[in-house]
Amino acid sequence: MKKNKQLTLSQKLIASLNLFLISFFYSAKSVSAQITNPVTGNLGVSDPDAPSGSRFIQYVVYLWRASVTLGSLAVIVFFLLGAFTWITAGGDTSKIEQARNQIMNSVVGLVLLVSSFVLLSFLSKLLFAGEFDIFQLSLPGTDN
């Protein structure tokens, strides 16, 4: 048997598309433009703390505090839901087991939140020796 070496229409179409894309991207010019976000403007450009990195640390701490706040709210909600499920179980062992697991998971979450406070407090005192206290930072944009 003799194999047909002729290209099919779809193979020709794919080859021509590839050739077009390669020539298009090869001939494209590199252009740089200054883009300013209309909402934030020049965020960090005129801030004297931006080159030292302290503004970045303040933003990270702000995000960490927000996540700890949301995590603590989640711990409270899941603990209360577990307690409510336990109270309304009516002696059903599967519901009691589910409620106990939910309460234990919320306690584990609480331990993780507290350990993050302890670890970051220890690291801030160890690395920054009193110059930087994670618990005494002001929010970005305020003059406290």
Instruction: Report pLDDT digits (tens) over 18-37.
Output: 888 787 777 766 666 666 66
Q: How sure is the predictor about 124, in pLDDT bands with cuts at 50, 70 and 90?
A: confident
- State the Cα–Cα distance between residues 19 and 17, nearest whole angstrom: 5
Q: Residues with Cβ < 8 Å from 50, sequence gap 6 or more?
A: 44, 56
Q: Which residue has the tokens 């229409």?
A: 9
Say what the pLDDT of residue 59 is. 79
Select from 48, 105, 98, 100 the least CA-distant residue to 75. 105
More confident: 2 or 75: 75
| Residue 88 pLDDT > 90 | yes
Say what the pLDDT of residue 105 is. 94
- State the Cα–Cα distance between residues 16 and 47, nearest whole angstrom: 52
* Average pLDDT across the chain, whole number: 77
The structure tokens listed for 81 are 């839901």
- State the Cα–Cα distance between residues 95 and 142, nearest whole angstrom: 48
